[in-house]
Structure 1
Amino acid sequence: MSDLDLFSDPYGSDPYGDPDHDDRGRRSRRPGTRRQGQRQRQKQRRRARNGKAAFLFAMAFLVAVVGTGGVLGAAWLDHRMNPPDYEGQGTGSVTVQIKDGDSGSTIAATLLSHQVVKSTGAFVEVYGKNPKAAGIQPGFYKLRKQMSSAAAMALLLDPKSRAGNLITLPEGLRVSQVVQQLVSKTGIPKSDFEKVVRRPTGLGLPSYANGKLEGYLFPGQYNLNPNASAREVLKMMVDRFNQFARQSDLEGRAQRAKLKPGSVITMASLVQAESGRPSDMPKISQVIYNRLRHRPVPMFLKFDSTTLYGLGKFGIVASSEDIKSKNRYNTYNYGGLPPGPISNPGEKAIDAVFEPEDGDWLFFVATDPDNRITEFASTEAEFEVLRRKLNKYLESKGGN
């Protein structure tokens, strides 16, 4: 064996038996292997093309976003710097309410919601530049739609634009008197108010009102919506009572005083009707307590005001015929409190029920109604002296 034979491959010239080489050392040209290479190269080209497209799309999207953001940012900045505003005096008519304590931005939002101004920014800008803006009064205003902010501001500062009916209802009015004043101020037919008084549903009356408005139309100043109905106007007054009752803890105070809330309002209406001055109220309240708690037998209140109320009359002194009447409000004939309030009392009268002035008075007489003078007595003899004073006053006036 030659040296060459020692190193020769008995299985061929490729020492590793490469199937892609023939016995002469040449690469095999089998069809399957060639197709696999082509597919691999095609995949690589597709990946390259897809990657390039994705890159170009991403760049285009980025440019679009940056460009749009720039446009939007510029638009936002322009909107802030130059808020949109209408031009001119506007058209049509709209009633807008400005409430007590409203700020410039609050007023702007109210105007925008009623389509008066085009943007809050434009109005706030005008508001901030006008030194009289803080003088805008709460109330109802008749404005127009699509006004310039400057024109809207001018109308809000013009008293002639006030569309509401400002009315002050004093303490101690009966419901019938309240209705009379509301009819005169609003022009709403009296029959509309009377219908609500007869059926006061939906007004939010407290349960202790027993479905009656008397006593629960809280006195005070009201700015009436010119578009409101009779029911809405009366509801506003009941709402004011409920607000007072919550804030003053009326029910809690009544419970601590061992009184029913309805009895408190009834007593307060008597105090209101019988007092000439606020300083008299705690004393009159004490007289009521003293008579109702009198021992050994409670005393009748014998208030002319309740007796006249039951008869639908007005006056200072009930006549002998009035005193004989059988109506339940006649406290000459019926013991205890009347069945309900006889007027709409104010805050001071209600407070007087909870804070009576200490004293043993059992009587009081308005000896000089013109000057609102009321005097108090503890005995029948003292009372007779005061009653003679009143009779002398009545004679000077020609009677009751």
Structure 2
Amino acid sequence: MSDADLDFLRQLSERQQRPEPPGGAPRAGRGGRGRRRKKSRKGRKLAPLIALAFLLTVVCGGGYVGYTALNGMLNPPDYKGEGAGSVTVWIHEGDSVSAMAQRLKDAGVVKSVDAFVKFATKDTRATSIQPGYYHLRREMSVKSALTLLLSDASRVGRLTIPEGKRVAQILPTLAKKTGIPLKNFEKAAKHPGNLGLPSYAKGKLEGYLYPFTYDPDPKATATQVLRSMVDQFKRVATSIDLEDKARALGMSPADVVTIASLVQAESGRPEDMPKIAKVIDNRIHSPQPWMHKLQLDSTVMYALGKYNIVATIAETKTISPYNTYNVSGLPPGAIDNPGEVALKAALSPASGNWLYFVTTDPTRKITKFAYSYADFQKLKQELARNTGHG
């Protein structure tokens, strides 16, 4: 009760109990006639009781409101059961538990933010909820909602593109994961101008669909999905300063992407990538013109649309600008989509004079390096033995 309320009650009580003027003199009334209306003793006795009743009403009412508020904090409202219907909720990158709770409440999934926060803070797994889109139901208990958020089965369209995949491999994967028809992706890929490619890509999509884990919007188009992958490439390129470092090396950014794709295709382990990049660099800048032919089987396989590790002698004679057995220097573009490690290796090759390398044990991903042609032949024989062709 406020001070004003107490003052009002006090004045009311005083007026009811105020003593009569001395000598029984009447109070001045209307028209100057001294009259007064006698108040009964009953009325005087009721006034304090009314004031007390009013006070109790206010106090009890405030107590009820306080109890209700406290109960709401201790036992926030929650739905029961697993809910019904379907709703898609987007959990953003960096969302706190309370931010997630608000998104769930706004979507009609949970009844209150406090109920979800209270339950989720007791489960350490709640902090591991990944950003992305989730299929949930309306009016779920917070326990049921959290269970679905922690289940990969409820994720919508999440997909991971590994390093070294070609565009021809990526498009079917995207179609399968997103439910968008493959023909839509193929059509979008034929219009690279809509995909936000960097100018140095010169309209080539190969090399710029960055390998990453994506959570595309369920309503996204094929063009939007491909554009998001190109955007991710550009973010990584900016973070590693690809353009400036390429120019410092006397190369175009596109050359770096091409070399990175060769490194990605030829390497078995990340630690081998800088050494493979150095072999490519040494051969391209060798004073011996015949060394400028990189003779990489991966480029032959790309030209043929195959995925074998070792090219046959007949295959190495394939006529194609991508066949580095016949063409000197780099192929005209990337042969796959490299990751950050391969891009960095292309920008910062290891130190060494190697001119050859062979993945001598493809199963164990062991690559060995050589300075001379004689040692290179020995490595090829080791490969033949390990693959059963020796």
Q: Normalised by the size of structure 1, how large is the TM-score?
A: 0.69
The amino acid of 1:218's aligned partner reads Y
The amino acid of 1:95's aligned partner reads T
Deviations 1:1-55 (A, max 9, x none): xxxxxxxxxxxxxxxxxxxxxxxxxxxxxxxxxxxxxxxxxxxxxxxxxxxxxxx
Q: Which residue of 1 aligns with 2:254?
A: 262
**1:217 and 2:209 equivalent?**
yes
**1:334 and 2:320 equivalent?**
no
Shift in alpha-carbon separation, 1:199–1:81, aligned structure 2, 3 A? farther
The amino acid of 2:155's aligned partner reads A
Of the two, which has the highest radius of gyration? 1
Q: Pick one of 162, 169, 183 that aligns with 1:191.
A: 183
Q: Which residue of 2 aligns with 1:373?
A: 366
2-structure distance, mates of 1:80, 1:195: 60
The amino acid of 1:348's aligned partner reads V
Q: Which residue of 1 aligns with 2:346?
A: 353
Deviation at 1:349, TM superposition (A): 1.0
Provide the secondary structure at the position in 2 that maps to 1:240. Answer: helix
2-structure distance, mates of 1:274, 1:130: 45
Deviation at 1:341, TM superposition (A): 0.5
Aligned CA RMSD, in angstroms, stands at 3.4
**1:242 and 2:234 equivalent?**
yes
Cα contact 1:85–1:117 (8 A) shared by 2: no
Q: Which residue of 1 aligns with 2:161?
A: 169
Q: Which residue of 1 aligns with 2:272?
A: 280
**1:143 and 2:121 equivalent?**
no
Deviations 1:290-321 (A, max 9, x none): 11101153621121111221121221222233
Alignment of 1:96-107 (within 5 A): 96-107=89-100
The amino acid of 2:248's aligned partner reads R
Cα contact 1:276–1:373 (8 A) shared by 2: yes
Cα contact 2:156–2:215 (8 A) shared by 1: yes
Q: Which residue of 2 aligns with 1:48?
A: none
Provide the secondary structure at the position in 2 that maps to 1:96. Answer: strand
Cα contact 1:281–1:352 (8 A) shared by 2: yes
Deviation at 1:343, TM superposition (A): 0.8
Deviation at 1:380, TM superposition (A): 2.1
Q: Which residue of 2 aligns with 1:299?
A: 292
Shift in alpha-carbon separation, 1:260–1:86, aligned structure 2, 3 A? same
2-structure distance, mates of 1:240, 1:314: 26
**How many percent of aligned residue pairs carry the same amino acid?**
48
Cα contact 2:136–2:154 (8 A) shared by 1: no
Provide the secondary structure at the position in 2 that maps to 1:97. Answer: strand
Shift in alpha-carbon separation, 1:105–1:203, aligned structure 2, 3 A? farther
Deviation at 1:86, TM superposition (A): 8.1
Moved more, 222-231 or 363-372: 222-231
Moved more, 353-362 or 294-303: 294-303
Give structure 1 stretches of 5+ with no counterpart.
1-74
Q: Which residue of 1 aligns with 2:301?
A: 308
**1:108 and 2:80 equivalent?**
no
Deviation at 1:258, TM superposition (A): 2.3
Cα contact 1:139–1:162 (8 A) shared by 2: no
1-structure distance, mates of 2:128, 2:271: 36
The amino acid of 2:213's aligned partner reads Q
2-structure distance, mates of 1:246, 1:256: 15
The amino acid of 1:102's aligned partner reads D
Q: Normalised by the size of structure 2, how large is the TM-score?
A: 0.71
Cα contact 1:90–1:145 (8 A) shared by 2: yes
Give structure 2 stretches of 5+ with no counterpart.
1-64
Deviations 1:77-100 (A, max 9, x none): x99996997856665422112134
Cα contact 1:171–1:344 (8 A) shared by 2: yes
Q: Pick one of 230, 233, 243 that aligns with 2:225.
A: 233
Shift in alpha-carbon separation, 1:118–1:256, aligned structure 2, 3 A? farther
Moved more, 358-367 or 262-271: 358-367
Q: Pick one of 164, 173, 176 that aligns with 1:181.
A: 173
Shift in alpha-carbon separation, 1:135–1:280, aligned structure 2, 3 A? closer
**1:364 and 2:353 equivalent?**
no
The amino acid of 1:387's aligned partner reads K
Cα contact 1:143–1:161 (8 A) shared by 2: no
Provide the secondary structure at the position in 1 that maps to 2:383. Answer: helix
Deviation at 1:170, TM superposition (A): 2.0
The amino acid of 1:222's aligned partner reads Y
Q: Which residue of 1 aligns with 2:281?
A: 289
The amino acid of 1:370's aligned partner reads T
Provide the secondary structure at the position in 1 that maps to 2:314. Answer: helix
The amino acid of 1:194's aligned partner reads E
Alignment of 1:61-100 (within 5 A): 92-100=85-93
Deviation at 1:111, TM superposition (A): 3.2
1-structure distance, mates of 2:153, 2:284: 54
1-structure distance, mates of 2:213, 2:238: 19
Moved more, 268-277 or 82-91: 82-91
Cα contact 2:275–2:352 (8 A) shared by 1: yes
The amino acid of 1:188's aligned partner reads I
2-structure distance, mates of 1:169, 1:225: 16
2-structure distance, mates of 1:79, 1:239: 48
